[in-house]
Amino acid sequence: MQSRNKLWSPAVAAFLLGIALVLTGFAPQAKAEYPERTIRLIHGFAPGGPADSLSRIVAEALSAQLKQSVIVEAKPGAGGNIGADAVAKAEPDGYTIGLVTGGHAVSGAWYDKLPFDAVESFQMITTVVDYAFVLAARPDSEATNLQSLVELAKARPGVINYGSAGVGTTQHLTGELLASTAGIKMVHVPYRGDAAAIVGLLGGQVHIIVASSSAVLPQVQAGAVRALAVSTAERWSGLPDVPTVAEAGLLGFDVRTWAGILAPRGTPAPIVERVRAGLAAALSAPDVKTKIETVVAGNVRLRTPEEMKSMVASEVARWRKVISDASIRRD
C-alpha cells in the first residue's frame, strides 16, 4: 500500500495551494491598467487666466478619453516656474502631468540657476496649441506698417519704445529679436502683463507693443489699435489680413509661443504614449479644438515627444543668444 505522502503529487499540491490562496484573499492580483486613479494636471499660472482655462479644457477632454478624473491644480508664481518645479519633483508614475507655455523655454534661458532643467528634468508628451505675438501701434501712429516702423526707428535711434508683458517674458525677448533682426534700437518698457501694456499703448506711453494674440485681438477688432505684423512665419488665422514680420522684409523671422503637456523625467514610455494618444484623440474633436483655439486665439498643434523636446531645447538656445547679444541685465 502506497504511503499518504506519495499520493500527494506536486501538481495536486500546487492546485490545492492555489485554492487556499484564493479563499484566504492572498491570490496574486493582475496589475491594474493605467490610469486607475485621479491624475493631476499642474500649471504655474493664476486661476482664471488663459493657461488655467486651457488646462481645464484639456483636463476635461483627456478625462473623457482615459475614463479617469483629471483635476487641474494651479501653482502660480515665478512666471510658471513654481508649477514646473512641482511637476519635475513629482513621482514619475503618470499621475502628475503639467501644462507649460513658451515662457518655459525663456526661463531655461533667462535664469542661471533653476531648481530644474527646462529640458532634461521632464518627459515631454506633446504640444497642444501654437499662437502668435502681434506687433501693434495706435491707429494715429506714424508707423502704419512694420516697414515704416523700421524706417522711423532708424531715423530716430533709441527714441522708439515698445511695451511688453514684463522683463524676461517671451514678448520682451521677441521685441529684442525683432530689433536686432531689423538692425534698429528700441527702448523696452516693461509692464505687468499684456493687459497693462495695451493700456500703456492706448495712453500714449509707448509707441508699439508686442503682445499675445489673445490679448490684443479684441482691441484690433474694435479698431482701438492697429496690428502691424504677426510674429509667426505664416499668417495667423485670427488676423488673416495682417502680414507676417517675414513678409515685411525681415526674412526668416518666426516666433511663436505655445502650450504643451509634459511629465516628470522617468515617466514610463507606455504611460507617456497613453496620455499622448488620449490627447491626440481629444483634440481631434471639433468642439474641443474650437474651445482651445478660442481661449488662446491660436491653432491646435500636436507634436511627438521627440519633436517637443527638440523644440524646447532649440528655443532655450535661441533665447540665450538673444539675451547675450542684447546684453540684457537679468538682475
For 253-266, the pLDDT digits (tens) are 999 999 999 999 99
Which of 195, 230, 265 marks a domain boundary? Answer: 230
Higher model confidence: residue 249 or residue 60? 60
- Structural domain that includes position 185: 132-230
Same domain, 147 and 217: yes
What stretches of the chain adopt beta strand conformation (E)?
39-43, 70-74, 96-101, 122-137, 161-164, 187-190, 208-212, 226-230, 256-264, 299-300
Tell me how many domains the chain contains: 2
Same domain, 102 and 47: yes
State the CB neighbour count (10 A cutoff) for residue 316: 20
Please indicate, yes or no, if residue 22 is contained in any of the structural domains: no
pLDDT band (50, 70, 90) for residue 31? low
Label residue 36 exposed, middle or buried (CB < 10 Å: 0-12, 13-18, 19+): exposed
Structural domain contains residue 17: no
Residues 197 and 220 in one domain: yes
In this prediction the pTM is: 0.86
Whether 137 and 221 share a structural domain: yes
Tell me which of 20-29, 64-73, 191-200, 243-252 is least confident.
Answer: 20-29
DSSP 26: -
**Same domain as 46, residue 108:** yes
Domain match, 114 and 44 both? yes
In a domain, 316, yes or no: yes
DSSP string spanning 43-74?
A: E-S-TTSHHHHHHHHHHHHHHHHHTS-EEEEE
Is residue 12 assigned to a domain? no
Q: Report pLDDT digits (tens) over 223-254.
A: 999 999 999 999 998 899 999 999 988 999 99
CA dist 232 and 116 (Å) reads: 29
Average pLDDT in the chain: 91
- Give residue-wise pLDDT tens across range 180-227: 999 999 999 999 999 999 999 999 999 999 999 999 999 999 999 999
Q: Is residue 32 part of a domain?
A: no
Q: Indicate if 139 and 155 belong to the same structural domain.
A: yes
C-alpha cell at 256: 511663436
Q: Do residue 136 and residue 164 come from a single domain? A: yes
23 is a domain residue: no
Residue 48 has pLDDT above 80, yes or no: yes
Whether residue 304 sits in one domain with residue 262: yes
173 shares a domain with 103: no
Residues 126 and 137 both lie in one domain: no
CATH of residue 69's domain is 3.40.190.150
Q: Give the end of a domain, one of 212, 230, 248.
A: 230
Residue 215 lies in a domain: yes
Tell me the pairing of strands 208-212 and 122-137: antiparallel
Domain with residue 178: its CATH number is 3.40.190.10
- Would you state the pLDDT for residue 18? 53
**Average pLDDT rounded to a whole number, residues 79-90:** 97
| Alpha carbon distance 51, 47 (integer Å) | 8
| 59 plus 193 within the same structural domain | no
Q: What is the pLDDT of residue 30?
A: 46
Q: State residue 121 phi and psi, 5-degree precision.
A: -85, 0
Q: Is residue 24 part of a domain?
A: no
